[in-house]
Amino acid sequence: MARPISRRHFLRRTAAAAMLALPMAATAKKSAPKASKASVRYQDHPKGRDVCGRCRFFLPAVGHSNGLMMQGTKANGTLAIGHCTKVAGRIAPMGYCILYTPRVHSQ
């Protein structure tokens, strides 16, 4: 018959396991290489109404507005260069590539 485990012992083991798993999860996310701009046919101008600023993979510049209509803008309203989770390099919010996937906004 197994001995019962104390709550304190269980919590210590669980915390230790979580701390060991955290670096492994972070490493797994960073291992996927980003595509080059040429391979995804990136252009710094829109294709119709499709723009990087409306794509689910676009990351606006840090410190700039994240509002629905002002995504990726500076405080004065001008567009700020951001980044993409799929494409390497700096990405213009008014750019476009073949990986464009519109954001899904929950209502």
Q: The dihedral of CA 79, 85, 89, 94: what is its sign?
A: negative
Model pLDDT for residues 36-89, shown as the tens digit of each residue: 999 999 999 999 999 999 999 999 987 655 444 455 455 545 578 999 999 999
Q: How far is CA 20 from the centre of its chain?
A: 24
Reference 52, options 41, 63, 75; nearest CA is 41
Query: Residue 66 has what pLDDT?
Result: 46
84 vs 35: CA distance, rounded Å: 10
pLDDT at 105 over 80: no
Reference 46, options 80, 100, 81, 94; nearest CA is 94
Query: Residue 1 has what pLDDT?
Result: 62
17-44: average pLDDT: 81
Contact of 93 with 82, CB cutoff 8 Å: yes
pLDDT at 101 over 90: yes
Q: What is the pTM of this model?
A: 0.57
